[in-house]
Structure 1
Amino acid sequence: MTAQRVTVQVQDQRLELSNLDKVLYPAADFRKRDVIDYYRQAGPAMLPHLRDRAATLIRFPNGVDGGSFYEKDVSRHAPDWVPTARLVSGAQGRGRAVNHHVLIGELPTLVWTANLAALELHVPQWTVGPEDSRNCPDLLVFDLDPGDPATIVECCRAAELLREILTAEGLRAYPKTSGSKGLQLYCPVRTTRAERTSAYAKEIALRLEAEHPGELLAKMNRSARAGKVFLDWSQNNPAKTTVAPYSLRARSQPTVSTPVTWDEVRACREPEDLRFTSDQVLHRLDRDGDLLADLHENPHPL
Structure 2
Amino acid sequence: MSSDATVRVEGRVLKLTNLDKVLYPEFGFTKGEVIDYYTRIAPVLLPHLKDRPVTLKRYPNGVDGKWFFEKNASEHRPDWVRTMRLESPGSTKGNETVNYVMVDELATLVWLANLAALELHVPQWTVGPRGGKRDPDLLVFDLDPGAPATVVECCRVAERIREVLDDDGVDSWAKTSGNKGMQMYAYAPAKDTSEYAKAVAQRLAQELPELVVATMAKAQRTGKVFIDWSQNNPAKTTVAPYSLRARERPAVSTPLTWDEVEDCEVVGDLVFTADEVLERVDSAGDLFGS
Instruction: Give the structure-1-normalised TM-score.
Output: 0.93
Name the CA distance, whole Å, in 1 between partners of 2:264 and 2:36.
30
Q: Which residue of 2 aligns with 1:27?
A: 26
1:181-218 CA distance string (max 9 Å, x none): 10100101254x7xx11111001100110111111001
Residue 90 of structure 1 deviates from its aligned partner by: 2.2
Is 2:240 the partner of 1:238? no
The whole-number CA distance in structure 2 between the counterparts of 1:235 and 1:66 is 27
Q: Deviations over 1:28-55 (max 9, x none)?
A: 0000000000000000000000011000
Q: Distance in 1 between matches of 2:3 and 2:32?
A: 11
Q: How does 1:120-269 map to 2 (within 5 A)?
A: 120-189=119-188, 191=190, 196-269=192-265
In the alignment, what sits opposite 1:273?
Answer: 269
Change (3 A) 1:173 1:92: farther
| Amino acid paired to 2:85 | R
Residues 1:10 and 2:6 aligned together: no
Larger CA deviation: 95-104 vs 69-78: 95-104
- One-letter amino acid of the counterpart of residue 152, structure 2: V
Which residue matches 2:66? 67
Q: Distance in 2 between matches of 1:93 and 1:106?
A: 33
Aligned counterparts of 1:10 and 1:185: Cα–Cα separation in 2: 34
Shift of 1:284: 0.2
* Cα distance in 1 for residues equivalent to 2:139 and 2:265: 27
Aligned-residue identity in percent: 58
Partner residue, 1:110: 109
Counterpart CA distance in 2 for 1:190 and 1:103 is 26
Superposition RMSD in Å: 1.4
Does the CA contact (< 8 Å) of 2:175 and 2:288 recur in 1?
no
Q: Tell me what 1:283 maps to.
A: 279
| Corresponding letter in the other structure for 1:175 | A
C-alpha distance in structure 2 between counterparts of 1:94 and 1:167, whole Å = 40
Distance in 2 (alpha carbons) for counterparts of 1:4 and 1:42: 23
Q: CA deviation at 1:91?
A: 5.0
| 8 A contact 2:255–2:287 mirrored in 1 | yes
SS in 2 for 1:27: coil
Task: State the AA in 2 paired with 1:183.
Answer: M
Measure, in 1, the Cα distance between the counterparts of 2:248 and 2:94: 35
Question: How far is the alpha carbon of 1:75 from its aligned partner?
Answer: 4.4
| CA distance in 2 between partners of 1:226 and 1:133 (Å) | 42
The equivalences for 1:32-111 within 5 A come to 32-90=31-89, 95=94, 97-111=96-110
CA contact (8 A) 2:204 2:212 kept: yes
* Alignment partners' CA distance in 2, 1:278 and 1:209: 34
Give me the whole-angstrom Cα distance separating, in 1, the residues matched to 2:289 and 2:221: 34
Alpha-carbon shift at residue 5 of structure 1 (Å) = 2.3
Query: Within 1, Cα distance between the matches of 2:124 and 2:189?
Result: 11
Q: Supply the distance in 2 between the matched residues of 1:140 and 1:206 (Cα, whole angstroms).
A: 16
SS in structure 1 at match of 2:20: coil
Q: Distance in 1 between matches of 2:77 and 2:264?
A: 42
> What residue is the counterpart of 1:298 in the other structure?
none
Give the conservation status (yes or no) of the 8 Å contact 1:75–1:100: no
Given that residues 137 and 190 in structure 1 are in contact (C-alpha distance below 8 angstroms), is that contact kept between their aligned partners in structure 2? Answer: no
Q: In the alignment, is the contact (CA less than 8 A) between 1:82 and 1:102 conserved in 2?
A: yes
75-84 or 94-103, larger mean C-alpha shift: 94-103
Matched residues in 2 for 1:26 and 1:9: separation? 29
Shift of 1:292: 1.7
Q: Which amino acid aligns with 2:164?
A: I
Unaligned runs of 5+ in 2: none
CA deviations on 1:210-239 (whole Å, 9 max, x unpaired) are 111111001101111000000000010001
